[in-house]
Structure 1
Amino acid sequence: MDTDATVEQILRRYDTITVVGASADPAKPANYVPEHMSEHGWRIIPVNPRGGEILGVTAYPSLADVPEQVGLVDVFRPSEQTPDIARQAVAAGATALWLQLHISSAEARQIAEDAGLLYVENRCLIVEQGRLRLEAPALS
């Protein structure tokens, strides 16, 4: 499947985004990208080793600590950390892995695809959401 089709499938299918590397700093993309997606209807689950609260919701120290089924995992971490995050996403039962703009990894892609996950790398959620003019799907 081509990347554009995968991007659209992910944005139409998932109403919740688990954000690994979410930041409390409003100047960082790892804060304003999830905030933008939240403003367009997606529910955000932040993952940050410091825990606490990000964007007004509880941040979990790791993917394994998220107390519900994880679907879409969005990653704001350096490329070299993504294979481990891909393994964690698979272990958590995720079904899609998205590496943000300027983040890519052949190893993370292989791990995700071998486990049957939808996979996108080096793409920004804000850019793709705007390009496709999509709001979060009304799932429930």
Structure 2
Amino acid sequence: MADLAERALAAANTIAVVGLSRNPAKAAHSVPANLQAAGFRVIPVHPSADVLLGERVYRSLADIPEPVDLVDVFRPATEAPEIARQAVAIGAKTLWLQQGIVSPEARRIAEEAGLTYVEDRCTAVVRALGRITKR
């Protein structure tokens, strides 16, 4: 039986990545690239880049003009509560804090709004172990 993280990732098609990095050597670049290669629609959110992974970059979650299933966070835990509020505001179904990121406040915000919440897990690892693809 798949765990909550596997079910949330398998249910997602469109993933907004807050903090997608320009640097291919960083996990904040390679993990979203892995998701994109597996067939997920990846939408980068970055304060100053214009194009990442061949996709238009948005400055904030609110700027994304299409529905987002999962918000994948590669930012410090101190920023997670505000990102959680934004994820709720855009109607995302899941808030996912990457491995090493934990935020009780973000959890509370997400869960009170009915979002699935995952923290301290890597989407690429969960995808690989669960053999989750969209292709």
TM bucket (normalised to shorter chain) is over 0.9
Secondary structure of 1:12's match?
helix
Q: Does the Cα contact within 8 Å between 2:13 and 2:69 map onto a contact in 1?
A: no
Q: Does 1:14 align with 2:47?
A: no
Partner of 1:113: 111
Q: CA RMSD in A?
A: 1.1
TM-score w.r.t. structure 2 length?
0.95
From 81, 84, 95, give the equivalent of 1:83.
Answer: 81
What residue ranges of structure 2 are gaps of 5+ in the alignment?
none
Q: CA deviation at 1:10?
A: 1.1
Partner of 1:42: 40
Shifted more, 5-14 versus 113-122: the winner is: 5-14
Secondary structure of 2:117's match?
strand
**C-alpha separation between the residues in 1 aligned to 2:108 and 2:65?**
26
Partner of 2:30: 32
Counting aligned pairs with the same residue, the percent is 51
Secondary structure of 1:97's match?
strand
TM-score w.r.t. structure 1 length?
0.92
**Superimposed CA distance per residue, residues 19-77 of structure 1 (whole angstroms, 9 cap, x where no aligned partner):** 01111210111110000111111110000011400001101000010011122000000
**C-alpha separation between the residues in 2 aligned to 1:75 and 1:94?**
13
Shifted more, 114-123 versus 47-56: the winner is: 47-56
Matching residue's letter, 2:106: A
From 52, 55, 58, give the equivalent of 1:54.
Answer: 52
What residue ranges of structure 1 are gaps of 5+ in the alignment?
none
Q: Does the Cα contact within 8 Å between 2:44 and 2:55 map onto a contact in 1?
A: yes
Count of matched residue pairs:
134
